[in-house]
Amino acid sequence: MREVHASQITEVVKKLCIESNLYLGEDVLAAFDKLEKMEESPVGREVFQQLKENARIAREEQVAICQDTGLAVVFVELGQDVHITGGDFNAAINEGVRQGYKEGYLRKSACHCFSRVNTKDNTPAIIHLEMVPGDKIKITVAPKGGGSENMSTVMMLSPSEGKEGLKKRVVEWVKQAGSNPCPPVVVGVGIGGTYEQAALIAKKALLRPLGQKNPDPELAALEEDLLARINNLGIGPQGLGGRITALAVHAEMIPCHIASFPLAINLNCHAHRHKEAII
Amino acid sequence: MSGPIRLKTPLTDADVEKLKAGDKVLLNGVIYTGRDAAHKRLFDLLQEGKPLPIDLKGQVIYYVGPAPAKPGQVIGSAGPTTSGRMDAYSPKLMEVGLKGMIGKGMRKKEVVEAMKKYKAVYFAATGGAGALLAKAIKKAEVVAYEDLGPEAISRLEVEDFPVIVVNDIYGNDLYQQGMAQYAR
């Protein structure tokens, strides 16, 4: 049994909140470079240049990539041989979010649903906890902006729709989202499980290094086909028309009930932010 | 596409009449921030026939909730938010003189119709480029609804703030045009 003090969790969460919002991942920057060359629309290429310049300014001047620094979505893989001491686990994460959003000059975007009164410290964090073997804690902070999250959905399809029907649903969904989710987007597709599990695996799919294919060849082919079809929509960067509508499609699948065929689509904007650390 | 058009706010009918969907524009002068909560308050005041805290005649509203400024900074990251959420309020604001809106994402038919009727344009700024766009903002001060925090109305002074016309007063829509051009 390894002991980890709650304050260590707070420190790590705080650091990840700041870093994820200031430093765009190398995988995303590499995708911008590659896709800018493939973009046929002059306005679309200009958008890519702006996004690269924006990422440079954010990194060098230590300011947020996007003013929407999101709700703090925190994934925790907790080793079963870890014993947390000196405080409450959830409180430690929320304290990290509180400190990170304050010290990083990040926008506080959490509010009461009815009154819309801001909670003023960006808590509560959205915490997804999974217990895993070992004595480490892996923490991933993935700030999620409202614009792209609003363009996400869960659909309980009929199994008769099949794989082709599912693909049509995804393409149609991205089409109706249009310019709203800040394309070029990353499309997280969760297939199977239950209603809530489909949404969760769609979100988790977004955490994969950009463009890394699903190891299952059938799903890798589905990702590739969906990406081609989505790009053929012509929405383009910022929806101004172009050949690059999505940076990547990441799909995950788990078995479902014999009566069900759940599909979740979680869109992410090009400010595709997540950072992880291991304690 | 030709080079960008420089425009100084407040905007006149003549200014918006020459703008076409797809035109790149560099805005100069004063613009006001406003998003969900501020729009609701402005709308409610107009419904009650009460005066607004700012005169909207010829003005441009930027749909943004900036990140907090670091010490020494004018403003934190300040890119556009999704405009559709303001659709319910925008026609009423155009009725009292609003000439321009800056955001990202599609507008409802009613809003596009109101733009034709009241001669107002909808500009897009690059969503997610908040650090870059903040560079064009030279001064920022809260002028109304400070209690709303990031949703307060601020008066911004901008220099060559880069936008593109999405909806003009003639009913053209760059999102539809662009998509049609590149779809396969």
State the average pLDDT over residues A65-91.
97
**Cβ–Cβ gap B129/A51 under 8 Å:** yes
Please identify which residue in the block is written with the tokens 């049609």.
B180
Residues B47-79 have pLDDT tens digits of 999 999 999 999 999 999 999 999 999 999 999
Structural domains of chain B ordered from first start:
5-182 (3.20.130.10)
DSSP A29: H
In the beta sheet, which residues pair with residue A249? Answer: A187
> Each residue of A21-31: pLDDT tens digit?
999 999 999 99
pLDDT of residue B97: 96
Q: Which residue of B has its CA nearest to A40?
A: B182
Dump pLDDT digits (tens) for A218-250.
999 999 999 999 999 999 999 999 999 999 999
The chain B residue lying nearest A176, using CA atoms, is B106
Question: How many Å apart are CA A161 and CA A268, to the nearest integer?
Answer: 25
Q: C-alpha distances in angstroms, A152 versus A145, A181, A187, B117? A: 12, 9, 9, 33
Tell me what percent of the residues of chain B surpass a pLDDT of 70.
Answer: 99
Mutation target to probe the B interface, by most B beta carbons within 10 A, among A41, A171, A240, A270 is A240
Cβ proximity of A261 and A124 under 8 Å: no
The residues in A 230-269 lying below 8 A from B, measured between CB atoms, are 232-236, 238-243, 269
A178–B175 CB contact, under 8 Å: yes
Residues from chain B that touch A179, judged by Cβ atoms under 8 A, are 104-106, 124, 175
Contact call for residues A78 and A129 (beta carbons, < 8 A): yes
CA neighbor of A245 nearest in space, from A257, A254, A234: A234
Q: Do the Cβ atoms of B182 and A66 come within 8 Å?
A: no
User: CB distance from A180 to chain B under 8 Å?
Assistant: yes
| Active-site choice (B39, B99, B104, B107) | B39
Mean of per-residue pLDDT scores for chain A: 97
* Spans of all domains in chain A: 2-20+65-144, 147-272
* Residues A95-121, mean pLDDT to the nearest whole number: 95
Q: Residue B95's pLDDT band (boundaries 50, 70, 90)?
A: very high
Residue in B with minimal Cα distance to A239: B175
User: Which chain B positions have a beta carbon within 8 Å of A232's beta carbon?
Assistant: 183-184
- Cβ separation A108–B150 shorter than 8 A: yes
Task: For helices A162-177 and A217-231, give the axis angle rounded to 10 degrees.
Answer: 40
Q: Contact at 8 Å (CB) between B134 and A105?
A: no
Query: Could you tell me the sign of the dihedral formed by the alpha carbons of A25, A29, A32, A37, in that order?
Result: negative
B2 pLDDT above the threshold of 90: no
Q: What is the ipTM of this complex?
A: 0.94
- Percentage of chain A exceeding pLDDT 90: 98
Which of the residues B74, B132, B151 would you substitute to probe the A interface, choosing the one with the greatest number of A C-beta atoms within 10 Å? B132
pLDDT in tens, B17-47: 999 999 999 999 999 999 999 999 999 999 9
Residues A207-216: tens digit of each pLDDT = 999 989 999 9
Q: Is B39 a catalytic residue?
A: yes
Measured between beta carbons, which residues in chain B are less than 8 angstroms from residue A270? Answer: 128
Contact A238 B73 (CB under 8 A): no
- Convert chain B into a string of H (helix), E (strand) and C (coil): CCCCEEEECCCCHHHHHCCCCCCEEEEEEEEEECCHHHHHHHHHHHHCCCCCCCCCCCCEEECCCCCCCCCCCCCCCCCCCEHHHHCCCHHHHHHCCCCEEEEECCCCHHHHHHHHHHCCEEEECCCCCHHHHHCCEEEEEEEECHHHHHHCEEEEEEEEEEEEEEECCCCCEHHHHHHHHHCC
CB-based contact B178 A150, cutoff 8 Å: no
